[in-house]
Structure 1
């Protein structure tokens, strides 16, 4: 009995890994086979694709009780990764970033105008791929679920961050609202959409959406800490740069809240990186950020426990959760 269960788990693991590999291959194919006028740019982007944690989220949530994964989940996961890549291209333009995953950014190598157009093209690719789901006759029920407009939430989150650039008085609550849009909304969409392929129960879908949002929050808080703790070589992108780009993150907000004189100085003049690092260190800004992330982690664990899913699927979701959290724990 135990042997049979182990064999079944291995089969299901292979199904999951195979689906994720299909996503990777299809993303690479789409980027490498773009129309010739844009192909050199999209092929450049193909060299710096990420770890596909969002795609893994879609696929994990879409696994049924037998461990099988609908074909549409793979297509949806590809669309999510293309969409995410589009947001990164636009982020790099806004941040004037030089590196992304160890490669020159598109805007650095080819210029901002080209990068803007390529980002828009990627967005169109993702939307076209998502729309093609409705070509299947059994997709109507999925569309009737009226999936929230997550993409607009991502855009509004980015705009909210931009509006608050350099805002020394940014509160913790305001900051969490910003990242719930610009980062967490896409994770929420991944979990909701994946689950919607295998269940119609509204309460279950709300739980999956909430789980995705929590993991997205953890993911961004992880990034906040990495800006202070990691090196450019380790993460293959610029670090020690958020404040220099007028982006105020949670570790610094905590320092401002606990050092009134430091906050006042920041309003009067630009702070040096050494001053920022010292203030964050002295006030325990990174410890506080980990604490906030830990609260989202614990809420996520409890949500997974309440889901009526197989032990294998629960383990898969916890693996994604741990992958987001362990970087700062």
Structure 2
């Protein structure tokens, strides 16, 4: 199974992630072979597998690391993540992801919605067979509810230039940080971690998810189409105003109004003007500063965890993700 090259430095973890993909693929059985092939291709589309990686590392926190169970939980969580991405792409009308055409672009919205729904089913099939308890299953169900609420908040806030930093952070907490937190927490409890240890994992995942999404949003302004796998400033084009532009608008709301009032008719020239304004009012710098604060909080949680090789890996990976450019 092909696993992202970022895991080459961690051979044991890379092997476990390969098993995660194998388990997901094992559960994909659809009568319609076009749907089945499409979903299998999605599984191997080049995602970084960050959430299952964090889950697997956190499964070493407690005294009883059950490899089969931890891989199953990681697989369920990655399947949940893929399902939300398929639906996100439909809502956002995104044409590409990881440089590949999205499912709805190739096959239409109805096909994509079915594929996403099927992945939700795979997630809970895997989880129900390996969850520690019904309480664990319920916890993940509630986690998914918050993730979907975050997506709904983003949808409802499109083209609203009055979005505040608080609104943005609340959206990110549900949309991205929740799944990181659930992944880390679920990994920890598969190893019979104590309540305190599991909550350290939860908090670390939350802070990591906040930092990760903020940096992802920064890259929407600084990257290229080739590195991002999607058009530059794609979020603004879709009316999604993220932290860099929110910070910049705090300094001079009036300067942005003539451009943002154009909604989905923004031209490339308009986007250049917006980028000039964001740079003038240091939106990206302020966003990166907040991402660093969340990353430092995540690292502080990691340092409170029991010593072990997994802890050093968490520190390395978390620090690397803060400094990523793609």
**TM-score of the alignment, normalized to the shorter chain, above 0.5:** yes
Displacement of 1:69: 4.7
Distance 1:205 1:257, change over 3 A: same
Partner SS, residue 310 of structure 1: coil
**For residue 115 of structure 1, what is the aligned residue in structure 2?**
112
Displacement of 1:250: 0.3
Distance 1:35 1:323, change over 3 A: farther
Greater mean alpha carbon deviation, residues 251-260 or residues 145-154: 145-154
> Does residue 1:127 correspond to 2:124, yes or no?
yes
Displacement of 1:296: 0.5
Distance 1:246 1:145, change over 3 A: closer
In the alignment, the residues of structure 2 paired with residue 323 and residue 241 of structure 1 have an alpha-carbon distance, to the nearest angstrom, of 25
Aligned pair partner of 2:205 in 205, 212, 226: 212
**For residue 56 of structure 1, what is the aligned residue in structure 2?**
53
Post-superposition Cα deviations, 1:37-94, rounded to whole Å, max 9, x if no partner, equal 4213213323414111111011000015789553111011111111111111111111
Contact 2:97 2:229 in 1 (8 A): yes
Query: How many residues are treated as equivalent by the alignment?
Result: 311
**For residue 249 of structure 2, what is the aligned residue in structure 1?**
256
Displacement of 1:112: 0.8
**For residue 280 of structure 1, what is the aligned residue in structure 2?**
278
> Equivalent residues in 2 for 1:304-319 (5 A)?
304-307=302-305, 309-319=306-316
**For residue 244 of structure 1, what is the aligned residue in structure 2?**
237
**For residue 222 of structure 1, what is the aligned residue in structure 2?**
215
> Does residue 1:198 correspond to 2:226, yes or no?
no
**For residue 176 of structure 2, what is the aligned residue in structure 1?**
183
Structure 1 unmatched ranges of 5 or more = 1-12
**Length-normalised TM-score, structure 1:** 0.87
Structure 2 unmatched ranges of 5 or more = 1-9
Contact 1:97 1:238 in 2 (8 A): no
Aligned pair partner of 2:99 in 99, 102, 114: 102
In the alignment, the residues of structure 2 paired with residue 28 and residue 231 of structure 1 have an alpha-carbon distance, to the nearest angstrom, of 32
Runs of 4+ with deviation above 6 angstroms: none
In the alignment, the residues of structure 2 paired with residue 205 and residue 313 of structure 1 have an alpha-carbon distance, to the nearest angstrom, of 15
RMSD of the alignment, in Å?
2.4
**For residue 5 of structure 2, what is the aligned residue in structure 1?**
none
Greater mean alpha carbon deviation, residues 229-238 or residues 61-70: 61-70
Post-superposition Cα deviations, 1:143-187, rounded to whole Å, max 9, x if no partner, equal 399557110010000111111111111111111010000111000
**Length-normalised TM-score, structure 2:** 0.88
> Equivalent residues in 2 for 1:285-300 (5 A)?
285-300=283-298
Displacement of 1:275: 1.7
> Does residue 1:27 correspond to 2:30, yes or no?
no
